[in-house]
Amino acid sequence: MKYASYCSTLNKEQVAKIYQDFLNKQRLSENAEENLMEFFNKSDFAEISLNSGQTQRIIMVAGSFRKEVTSTVLWLMNYKLRIQCFKAEAFKSGDKLFVNFEQIIPMKEAEDYVISMANKTQEDINEQEVTKTRYLIRIDFWKEFLRELNKNPNPFQNISPSKDNWIGTSIRGISFNFVISNYYARAEVYINKGKKEINKFIFDELHSKKTEIENAFGGVLEWERLDVKITCRIKHELNDVDYFNRDDWHKMTAFMIDSMLRLEKAFREPIQKLKSKLKTKGAED
């Protein structure tokens, strides 16, 4: 492994020099660059690519392998290290000596499967790292967002930062949520009192006052009844922003705070008036 890490730093010219030194040591009157051009079927040494990127592989050859070695090799393969183990056995027949090489890791018959599993393991590891990073960025965003939100009195003073992509507060089973993604930022009224028929009833009652609510809001809202789902949503959304891009944070924050304060004001009275109607359906607070 020390040798492999050393080789990973070598450029094409250094590889050719090592090869030339070997040829000279063996007293062979051959030119390394010419041999490499012949091997790669190229007419110009500049066209040859040697040891590019992190493409090194390790081939281990031994008469037998200890368990500590094989278990380490299998573990390293999960990190997409290109490594193979060959068992070598020597045989003598008369004056002739024969050597048999058998690939034992990964087993030839299962090589594709082992490589696929290693790829999946690495993808899972990468996804875990991305998720962890995503959570940390969200927490930072919400901390900064709430500092800005709480500069002035508002109905959302008790919200805490979260690793989730939304934060909010609920009034009688109707949530006022701030939501972020790597595509949009939005303020929404989210209806979820547990039962689909109750949620659709609330939505329809509010939607019947659409003109009145949008006039109070001061703009057009997106009304999503979401017929195939239990919940419903009414939202105001800003597209083409990304919470991974800190340059977008101020724009997202300003948009959501302004939208949410106007949403809460526009829906306050219509939601209050729903209380008596919900009692008749057994869906009060």
Q: Quick one: CATH architecture of 133-280?
A: 2-Layer Sandwich (3.30)
Helices and strands, counts by H and E, the chain: 8, 8
**Phi, psi values for residue 74, rounded to 5°:** -60, -40
CATH 3.30.1460 positions along the chain are 133-280
pLDDT tens-digit series, residues 11-52? 889 999 999 999 999 988 899 998 998 898 888 888 888 887
Residue 226 identity (one-letter amino acid): L
pLDDT at position 108 is 62
Cα pseudo-dihedral 221, 225, 226, 231, rounded to 10: 100
Whole-angstrom Cα distance, residue 64 to residue 85?
10
Residue 23 identity (one-letter amino acid): L
Task: Please state the pTM of the whole predicted model.
Answer: 0.58
| Band (157; pLDDT cuts 50, 70, 90) | confident
Between 95 and 132, name the one with better pLDDT.
95
Cα pseudo-dihedral 72, 78, 79, 82, rounded to 10: 80
Residues 79, 122 contacting (CB under 8 angstroms):
yes
Question: Residue 173 pLDDT more than 80?
Answer: no
pLDDT at position 177 is 96
pLDDT at position 112 is 65
* Neighbour tally for 66: CB within 10 Å: 9
Residues 174, 271 contacting (CB under 8 angstroms):
yes
pLDDT at position 281 is 63
Q: At what angle do helices 111-149 and 249-280 cross, to 10 degrees?
A: 80
Whole-angstrom Cα distance, residue 248 to residue 161?
18
Bond from prior residue into 106 cis (ω within 30 degrees of 0):
yes
Question: Residue 68 pLDDT more than 70?
Answer: yes
pLDDT tens-digit series, residues 98-149? 999 888 887 765 556 556 666 666 676 566 666 678 888 999 999 999 999 9
Helix (H, G, I), strand (E, B) or coil at 240: coil
Of all residues in the chain, the percent with pLDDT exceeding 70 is 87
